[in-house]
Amino acid sequence: MHQTRLTQALRLKQRVLIAAAAAVVYALPAIVTPSLAAAQNLPNLGDTERQELSPLMERKLGEQVMRDIRHDRDYLDDEPLLEYLNNFGSSLVAARPDVRGEAGYDFFFFAVRDPMLNAFALPGGFIAVHSALLLAAQTESELASVMAHEIGHVAQRHIARMLGSQRQDALIPLAAMVLGALAARSSPDAAGAIMMGGQGIAAQRQLNFSRDAEREADRVGLKILREGGFDTSGMVAFFGRMQAAGRAYTDAMPAYLRTHPLTTERIADIQARTRDQPYRQHADSLDFHLIRARVRVLQDKSPQGLQDAAIAFDSQLRQKNKAQTIAAKYGLAFIALRQGAFDKAQALLQEARTLAQSVPGYAKSAPLAGLGIDIRLAANQGADALKEAESARAQFPLSRAIAHQYADALMAAGRHEDAIRYLRDQAQLYRQEPQLQDRLAKAYAAQGKQALQHLALAESYALAGSLPAALDQLSIARRAPDASFYNQSVIDAREREFQARRREELSEEKIGR
């Protein structure tokens, strides 16, 4: 069985193991941040409980774990999906800005390919949902309930507070739980043995804390849902459906129920908090349906997986629901694109677009526009791709996915100099996007500019956290026959900076051993 994203995370040193443990089990204490304490009427236990892990270190740990996750093949590095999740997640955070806490976390939301119903939060504001959970959520309110709950875990700083209250005995039982959760993917019996071996009194104490932590995250999540304009009953509906699935399939309980224990008392607490709240209908966006269709295709890219997805879309078409029909045609067009049937993909997409034009509020959709550009690019129709990209860029000026596609279209149309100017401007505005540097390298390569090509690749690797690879690219750039004096000066400066950062990394790893 291939290694999972959390297996890779475990390769980090002990300090990162703590973070990975928090991503698997929320066996954490119930303490709140000062910013949320007043709002929730919950006690603030003081700064002495969080001396073990500062907000800055939390973020650093999260970034280190994310570095490995991004390199895992199950990380869904799909720009329309990432853009939707981050726009959606940002709207939840904006509904209650104090969840950013004293550190002002910049939340990042992402998805991983996994058939288990689950979601998890890493230190520092990194929140993931499994592809299966995205497909199981029937409304945006249900998806919001899960994401808001995870935001609550980050806002409460449960990881730092676990370390503050369990300084002596936290690592061993939590490490055992992580290993047990990983082993469960291939051997449930082995998982049980590992977990039992590492629990003991300390682990039981942590599990007792988890119930309070879950209730706190629920309370924060409900506030986010209410103030964000979502239907708060979505949390009860989604959690209740998963609990029912757990009762029906005791040998395959949804992973979310194992990592987020749903007691009868906890569900009753959620119901009590939502009972007196007026019903608020939230209209799902078209993008929600389109992204779920996209995830259905991305979840299993094998021929059988694509066939299963096509069957599911055919079933959607029979429902005679406009949103479902548009999403199904979009999904079928995406499948056709992946199979190289470009004319079929274009025809299906046009059907989806035409139907969307007939529904108020559905005419403008970045995923629909983006798929049209992708089809043109894949069919080597550079001029048409650029025309669609220019139109989409005018419609969605803030879309990073469309911005990247516009650069691709410029290159496909043979306008490499324009692409370079555009990408260099974009790289100045969005300094943390390795995708821009990757495209710059491609544009430079098309013009035979070797030194600049490898300089751009070095920047891309550095942004992705691969400093050794970045230094290798700088060495290649230095030896390039077209490296100018100015290029050499830039290479020298970046090499000094990367080497200093690499020495710092090695020093931290040595301390962690």
CATH of the domain at 474: 1.25.40
What is the reported pLDDT for 6? 44
Check if the beta carbon of residue 124 is closer than 8 Å to that of residue 143: no
Structure tokens at 444: 């430079």
Domain termination site, one of 232, 256, 275 = 275
Structure tokens at 291: 């992204």
Strands 108-112 and 126-130 turn out to be parallel
What is the reported pLDDT for 159? 64
Neighbours of 507 (CB within 10 A): 10
The verdict on residue 436 lying in a domain is: yes
Which residues neighbour 395 within 8 Å (Cβ) at sequence distance 6 or greater?
364, 366, 369
Check if the beta carbon of residue 140 is closer than 8 Å to that of residue 285: yes
Residues 447 and 414: their CA atoms lie apart, in Å, by 10
The verdict on residue 458 lying in a domain is: yes
Domain termination site, one of 256, 275, 294 = 275
What is the reported pLDDT for 48? 40
Angle between helices 171-183 and 188-198 (to 10 degrees): 180
What is the reported pLDDT for 52? 57
The verdict on residue 173 lying in a domain is: yes
What is the reported pLDDT for 165? 54
Neighbours of 411 (CB within 10 A): 21
Check if the beta carbon of residue 299 is closer than 8 Å to that of residue 132: yes
What is the reported pLDDT for 195? 42
Residues 475 and 469: their CA atoms lie apart, in Å, by 10
What is the reported pLDDT for 279? 67
The verdict on residue 107 lying in a domain is: yes
Report yes or no on whether pTM surpasses 0.85: no
Angle between helices 79-95 and 286-299 (to 10 degrees): 130
Check if the beta carbon of residue 131 is closer than 8 Å to that of residue 299: yes
Compute the half-sphere exposure of residue 41: CA atoms within 13 Å on the CB side of its CA.
Answer: 0
Residues 222 and 224: their CA atoms lie apart, in Å, by 5
What is the reported pLDDT for 60? 82
Question: Domain residues for 428?
Answer: 417-513
* DSSP type of residue 217: H
N-to-C CA span, the chain: 28
Domain termination site, one of 235, 256, 275 = 275
The verdict on residue 138 lying in a domain is: yes
Structure tokens at 387: 């025309």
* Alpha-carbon distances of 434 from 139, 437, 462, rounded to whole Å: 33, 5, 8
The verdict on residue 78 lying in a domain is: yes
SS3 of residue 347 by DSSP: helix
Structure tokens at 470: 């970045």
The verdict on residue 281 lying in a domain is: no
What is the reported pLDDT for 250? 45
Residue segments in the chain with a per-residue pLDDT below the cut of 50: 1-51, 167-209, 248-251
Residues 112 and 130: their CA atoms lie apart, in Å, by 5
- Write the pLDDT tens digit of every residue in 312-360: 999 999 988 999 999 999 999 999 999 999 999 999 999 999 999 999 8
The verdict on residue 335 lying in a domain is: no
What is the reported pLDDT for 261? 57
What are residue 125's phi and psi, to 5 degrees?
100, 15
Q: How many domains does the chain have?
A: 2
What are residue 121's phi and psi, to 5 degrees?
-120, 135
Using the Cα atoms of residue 378, residue 379, residue 381 and residue 384 in order, give the sign of their dihedral.
Answer: negative
